[in-house]
Amino acid sequence: MIDPRHGLSGLALWRSLTAYEKFEQTVVFALTVLIALIVLAALWNLMKLVATSLLFVDVLDPTDPAVFQAVFGAIFTVVIALEFKRSLLVVVERRFGIVQVRAVVMIAMLAVVRKFIILDLTQTEAAKVMALGLAMLALGIVYWLVRDQDRREGEAQAQAQEGVERP
Is 28 within 8 Å of 98 (Cβ atoms)? yes
Is 110 within 8 Å of 76 (Cβ atoms)? yes
pLDDT tens figures, 107-143 = 899 999 989 888 888 888 999 999 999 999 999 999 9
pLDDT tens figures, 19-64 = 888 888 888 889 889 999 999 998 998 888 777 776 666 666 767 7
Q: Which range scores top for mean pLDDT: 26-40, 86-100, 142-156?
A: 26-40
H-helix segments, the chain: 10-16, 19-50, 65-94, 101-118, 126-162
Q: How confident is the model at residue 91 (pLDDT cuts 50, 70, 90)?
A: low
Q: How confident is the model at residue 67 (pLDDT cuts 50, 70, 90)?
A: confident
Q: Which residue has the higher pLDDT, 68 or 167?
A: 68
Domain boundaries, the chain: 2-162
